[in-house]
Structure 1
Amino acid sequence: MTGKNDKTSAWGGSRRLLKLLRDQMKGKSTNQERLAQTVNLIARDMNAEVCSIYVMRRGEYLELAATMGLKPEAVYQTRLHKGEGIVGQCAALALPMAVSDAPRHPNFAYRPETGEEPYQSMLGVPILRSGRVLGVIAVQNVTHRHYDEEEVEALETIAMVLAELIAGGALSVSALEAESSKEELEKPDRIKGLCLNEGMGIGEAVFHNRGIVINRIIADDIDEEVERLEKTVKEMRSSIDEMLTRTDIAAMGEQREVLETYRMFAEDRGWVGKITEAIRVGGMTAEAAVQKIQNETRSRMSKISDPYLRERLADLDDLANRLLHHLLDLDEDKPELPDEFVLLARTLGPAELLDYDWDRLKGVILEEGSPTAHVALVAQALELPIIGRCRDVLTRVREGDMVVLDASHDQVFVRPKDDVLRTLRTSVKDKKLRWEEVSAAKELAPVSLDNQRISLNVNVGLLMDLPHMHAAGADGVGLYRTEVPFMVRKSLPDVSEQTELYRKAMDRAEGKPVVFRTLDVGGDKVLPYWSSIAEENPAMGWRAIRIGLDRPALLRQQLRALIRACAGRQLDVMFPMISETAEFKAARALLDRELEREKTIGGTLPEKIRVGAMLEVPALIWQLIPLCKEVDFLSVGSNDLLQFVFATDRGNTRLARRYDALSPGVLKMMRNIAETTHKAGVDLSLCGDMAGQPIEAMALIGCGFKSLSMPAQQVPDAKKMVRSLNVDSIKEFITGLLEKPDHSVRSELENYAKTANVVI
């Protein structure tokens, strides 16, 4: 490449190469001939002795598909696992790698069949599309060459062209796949995942594929492309505004709290500015520039360890795809969807989900995704089952395949046999009938066979969740996650905004108690308008009450809003992530200061105030006796508590089922907590995954818990369990399990339920 210090001349050479590639692809060559011509063109333009193209195969390995400079017999013989060698690392990281002394690089992997001994330097660039690595382009030189920024950008742009050609069928690497992969797609399959919202759904597989193929990469007129971008961005923003004011969406009320973040991204000038720069500096069309910035954003954000920030990538993908949709005028050609379908995608943004017909849509399956994703929150509001982290689901399922989404059990059945499908359809129908039966009997109290009352409450994060509390016949809100509205706004809500929000929550609870948890941010829940510092162990880092005590103004403002919102009514507030009694006392002191302040200015105080703590940190168990002298109630946060007890990251799929909450050690811990709080006269509850599963809830009641909080959709099954249970009997049975050395006593509890006719 000549003129490497002149950005314009460097790009000019690349523009010429791109046009040559375009012309070449229009010919009648075979796929293999096109690959060979491509590597020759790239090597000549970049003054490289070697250029190679590796393609990604099923099984996560790269195969040498074409080369100029290496031994021809190595083609389709040389293979690298993803992460192996410099090429494999380039694919694993989805990032370019420029190395001036490749043989000395720690990731260097020598393949004698390639004859690459003489080549010292290497530049590898991933071929990316829609966040998926399709392959790698690599150039090599005999000399110790330092590849500059312009050369990296040029090769990235060429990789974009190849990715689009692959997607458009002009360069079909899929034709090179083994015939055996086709046979695999005929067989029944079962894929494990992670439940993001419970439920079951059956339908035909529909891929969330907007049909985006960019055929024009090089701009004929740069100013015209910039003008076209600006015009289209305005059109897109207007269409988003129209979508958010649609009657069916507006009626959801606080659904907008999630969607407002989406609007915020659309109005981000920095994002549009980067696209404009790619047009002006790179000479790209508007759609190619959007794709370039989208790829760069994916690569950068996918390396961020913070799960919440990474989930915002789905929102950005949603927005970029929507802008491409407008630029390419794809809105007119929308395919007809089946009467019942399940949507499959790598990731999904909240607005994209709202584009579909909710009556026909029976569930969502994602290759990625987490419970903090905005799309998961929207799915919960729509009562739509959704499952994430289904590895390779987009390659293991074909469009039109019958799929059964069983989010409640973290699994997807693909192409099930007729008898299995009939059984699963019956299961879906039975679940629906059970819900209708229990909903019809929602006024029935959760009272056990031996006349003991168990309080069943709901966990909520948005105002739109509260109607489900009434529909389920729950006693109240056991956990109101106040951080969710903070996380979906573009700026920190002030005291008046918070007051209005909490007042609405109290109004919609219609007299039922609402336990407000103060801000539990940090860790995997980062406020988008706060700068954060990466932590090696964010779950055990600067979060929750630790932030509140270090930033007392933030906590005091929230407490002030809660006091005003509950004026004349009962205020139940609890502090999260308390690790020692001293922390609770410090937080309580801030509440007392705000109560005194409100009294001084003549405000109306809450009629009654109850203050509690979340028990999530094991260290607090050894301070329960002094803590009970300070608190009015205690709530066990089982999710965090168990991940700390077992030293397991609950977001790590490898460890997701390694330890069981129904182990003797956990049950003994829960029994000790219940006994200590009972002696002290302190109300005890549990909010977390354990509360929402009937078998776990039964065990907790046997340990002495009389109050449980769970998602609203889990209340009916919990109520049926309680009404079929003898509490004294299960307590006695649990006592006999506590000293067992077993990994789990789940099977013993299931046998007990079956024998005692407890509905689980």
Structure 2
Amino acid sequence: MRGALGGSGVLLRRLREVMAALISPQERLDRLVVLIAGNLVAEVCSVYVLREDGSLELYATEGLNREAVHLTTMRAGEGLVGLIAREAEPLALSDAQNHPAFSYRPETGEEVYRSFLGVPILRGGAVMGVLVIQNRASRLYSDEEIESLQTTAMIMAEMIAAGGLKSLARPGASIGLDRPIHGVGVSLADGVGLGHAVLHEPRVAITNLIAENPAAEVKRLEDAIAQMRASIDELIERGDVAHIGEHRDVLETFRMFAHDQGWLRRMREVVLTGLTAEAAVERVQSDTRAKMLRQTDPYLRERLHDLDDLANRLLRTLVGKANGVAREEMPENAILIARSMGPAALLDYDRSHLRGLVLEEGGPTSHIAIVARALGIPAVGEIVNATALIQSGDAVIVDGQAGEVQIRPQPDVENAYKDKARLRARKQEQYRKLKSQPAVTR
């Protein structure tokens, strides 16, 4: 790497040592910026952290005036740092002061530095701050240096997300870990739901790939498939799932996929090559996913969610993990958060506790949307980075009518939605009473 001392490997090893040291959060940050500046041959390294109010605060620096730490702030979009946070993209400049977004802050003493490289501190696509290096001389930062700074920013993101800097926040200037977020997506199922987030995590990490006894693995695979099919039959035939409606066709199609002999044959063939049953399921599903992602037909792409759900169910059966969340682990008012879901996945959860559904993917005609509507669960799809922005236990409001999601809402917003939910409940009760009345011709 041009301009770096020892390369990114040396830097990462030293960063890990600092992260593991028993020192105060401020001392840890101070050591980190010194290490980064030294490794990238920069005269300045600074860390700006996103606050709850959306502004960015200087939390540590090597090279700028230390008195500016916790004093200098940038509004969202203000200056080069604010621009990086807003765009969530790196910015490398050989003459920073001539950039139209440059904002001079006399307390920092940065006017003597011409070159500027800044990268967003990202976690799950969400901006948590900005990491910057600067030099006095005009300098073109290389792609390797940009990549190295981005890698370092990932470590910073984990430290911020873990709450390691909360103690440094001044009163009224909390770090934006828990700031309210208003997400706009598409309506999947009408209704208003208020509750706390439960993350839907169907994926299973496979650690054992090589089979010692292929014949035994085939038997494990066949037993797991039989068990999975029985559990799907039980889910679909439960009394709380209506037996008539569009959702029923969706669920029956899902059950048909579970009984597909071609799927079982392909997995059995892979096991006989020497892989474990789990590895075979993953291999066949990866191949299927790659083929279906190349399809432009929305019907075929929708089948991918069904097949993903089946593969995940089979993997969980093989490793002995239950689908969904145990009743005792679900909050009384649960809002389910997922990247995507198959049509039967909602049936794994206790409907008496489920108040809403938020998805990163899925449109109004998706199978999961059809099932959510049939079950009367408010749902919103296409909420970008939902699984990264929402933590387990976060307060979440789902407005299925407007296609909006409120994450960690302010009390006034929450109260307004409570009123909206109560009004809706009263209207629904009135409709139910009218439904039982005989028709009258006037």
Contact 1:343 / 1:363 at 8 angstroms: preserved in 2?
Answer: yes
- How has the CA–CA distance of structure 1 residues 168 and 421 changed in structure 2, closer, same or farther, with 3 Å as cutoff? closer
> Once the two structures are superposed, what CA deviation does each residue of 1:278-310 show, in whole Å capped at 9, x if it has no partner?
xxxxxxxxxxxxxxxxxxxxxxxxxxxxxx9xx
CA RMSD of aligned residues (A): 5.5
Counterpart of 1:267 in structure 2 is: 286
- SS of structure 1 residue aligned to 2:110: coil
Amino acid at match of 1:379: A
Q: Which residue of 1 aligns with 2:276?
A: none
Query: How far has the Cα of 1:416 moved from its partner?
Result: 7.8
- Residue 254 of structure 1 aligns with an amino acid whose one-letter code is V
**Structure 2 residue aligned with 1:433, among 429, 434, 442?**
429
Question: What is the 5 A alignment of 1:326-475?
Answer: 336-338=328-330, 340-343=332-335, 345=337, 348-351=339-342, 354=346, 356-364=349-357, 376=369, 379-380=372-373, 382-387=375-380, 399=393, 405-408=398-401, 427=423, 429-434=425-430, 436-437=432-433
**CA spacing shift, 1:23–1:429, aligned 2, 3 Å:** same
Give the whole-Å Cα distance in 2 for the aligned partners of 1:243 and 1:68: 58
Deviation at 1:428, TM superposition (A): 5.2
Partner of residue 175, structure 1:
167
Query: Which residue identity does 1:208 align to in structure 2?
Result: L
**Gap change, CA 1:229 and 1:140, over 3 Å in 2:** farther
User: How far did residue 99 of structure 1 move?
Assistant: 1.9
Shift in alpha-carbon separation, 1:180–1:80, aligned structure 2, 3 A: closer
Change (3 A) 1:88 1:428: same
Q: Check the 8 A contact 2:121/2:130 in 1, yes or no.
A: yes
Task: Say whether the 8 Å CA contact 1:202–1:340 is kept in structure 2.
Answer: no
Q: What SS does structure 2 have at the residue aligned with 1:112?
A: coil
Instruction: Please report how far the alpha carbon of residue 81 of structure 1 lies from its aligned counterpart in structure 2 after TM superposition.
Output: 2.3
Asked if 2 retains the 8 angstrom alpha-carbon contact of 1:126 and 1:133, the reply is yes
**Compared CA separation, residues 430 and 84, structure 1 to 2 (3 A):** same
Q: Shift in Å at residue 339 of structure 1?
A: 5.5
Higher mean Cα deviation, 49-58 or 409-418? Answer: 409-418
Shift, 1:360, TM fit: 2.2
Kindly indicate whether the alpha-carbon contact (under 8 Å) linking 2:334 and 2:356 is maintained by their aligned counterparts in 1: yes
Report the AA paired with residue 377 of structure 2: L
Equivalence map 1:195-210=2 (5 Å)? 196-202=187-193, 204-208=195-199
The Cα of 1:202 is off from its aligned counterpart by 4.9
Q: How far is 1:337 from its partner?
A: 3.4
Q: Which amino acid aligns with 1:246?
A: I
Partner of 2:22: 28
2:95 to 93, 101, 104: 101
Give the match for residue 7 of structure 2.
13
Q: Indicate the residue corresponding to 1:137 in structure 2.
A: 131
Corresponding position of 2:232: 246
- Partner in structure 2 of residue 49 of structure 1: 43
How far 1:104 moved relative to its partner? 2.1
Amino acid at match of 1:205: H
- 1:75 matched residue in structure 2: 69
The equivalent residue for 1:683 is none
Deviation at 1:208, TM superposition (A): 3.0
After superposition, the C-alpha distances for 1:580-611 in whole angstroms (9 at most, x for unaligned) are xxxxxxxxxxxxxxxxxxxxxxxxxxxxxxxx
**What is the aligned counterpart of 1:91 among 77, 81, 85?**
85
How far apart, CA to CA, are the structure 2 residues paired with 1:86 and 1:398?
Answer: 33
Shift of 1:348: 3.5
- Distance between the aligned counterparts of 2:365 and 2:114, measured in 1? 44
**TM-score, length of structure 2 as denominator length:** 0.62
- Contact kept, 8 Å, 1:190 with 1:414, in 2: the verdict is no
Sort the Cα spacing of 1:93 and 1:356 in 2 relative to 1 into closer, same or farther, 3 A.
farther
| Contact 2:118–2:130 (Cα < 8 Å) also in 1 | yes
Q: Deviations over 1:624-669 (max 9, x none)?
A: xxxxxxxxxxxxxxxxxxxxxxxxxxxxxxxxxxxxxxxxxxxxxx
Residues 122 and 139, structure 1, Cα contact 8 Å, conserved in 2: yes
Deviations 1:529-569 (A, max 9, x none): xxxxxxxxxxxxxxxxxxxxxxxxxxxxxxxxxxxxxxxxx
Q: Deviations over 1:439-460 (max 9, x none)?
A: 667x97xx995xxxxxxxxxxx
Q: 1:418 to 1:363 in 2, by over 3 A?
A: closer
CA distance in 1, matches of 2:137, 2:427: 68
Offset at residue 191 of structure 1 (A): 7.0
Distance 1:331 1:38, change over 3 A: farther
Pairwise CA distance, 1:30: 1.0
Identical columns (%): 33
Instruction: Report the more deviating stretch, 127-136 or 413-422.
Output: 413-422
Residues 47 and 406 of structure 1, relative CA distance in 2, 3 Å threshold: closer
SS at match of 1:246: helix
Are the structure 2 counterparts of residues 113 and 378 from structure 1 closer, same or farther at C-alpha, using a change threshold of 3 Å?
farther
Matches of 1:140 and 1:257 in 2, distance apart? 59
Judge conservation of contact 2:334–2:355 (CA < 8 Å) in 1.
yes
Alignment of 1:287-686 (within 5 A): 336-338=328-330, 340-343=332-335, 345=337, 348-351=339-342, 354=346, 356-364=349-357, 376=369, 379-380=372-373, 382-387=375-380, 399=393, 405-408=398-401, 427=423, 429-434=425-430, 436-437=432-433
Partners of 2:151 and 2:389 in 1: how far apart? 26
Deviation at 1:89, TM superposition (A): 2.0
1:426–1:78 distance in 2 versus 1, CA, 3 Å: closer
Q: 1:370 to 1:76 in 2, by over 3 A?
A: farther
Post-superposition shift, 1:432? 4.4
Whichever residue aligns with residue 372 of structure 2, its letter is A
Between the two proteins, the alignment pairs up a number of residues equal to: 362
Higher RCO (CA < 8 A, seq sep 6+): 2
Distance 1:64 1:410 in 2: 36
Report how far residue 118 of structure 1 moved: 2.0
Q: Is the 8 A contact 1:124 1:137 kept in 2?
A: yes
- Structure 2: distance between partners of 1:377 and 1:74: 55
Aligned-partner residue type, residue 354 of structure 2? L
Seen in structure 2, the aligned counterparts of structure 1 residues 407 and 2 have a Cα distance that, compared at 3 Å, is closer
Task: Specify the alignment match of 1:500 in structure 2.
Answer: none
Deviation of the 1:257 alpha carbon: 8.7
C-alpha change, 1:153 and 1:390, in structure 2 (3 Å) is closer
Cα deviation for residue 53 of structure 1 reads 0.7
The verdict on how the C-alpha distance between 1:409 and 1:360 changes in structure 2, with shifts beyond 3 A counting, is same
Q: CA deviation at 1:13?
A: 2.1
Q: 1:373 to 1:38 in 2, by over 3 A?
A: farther
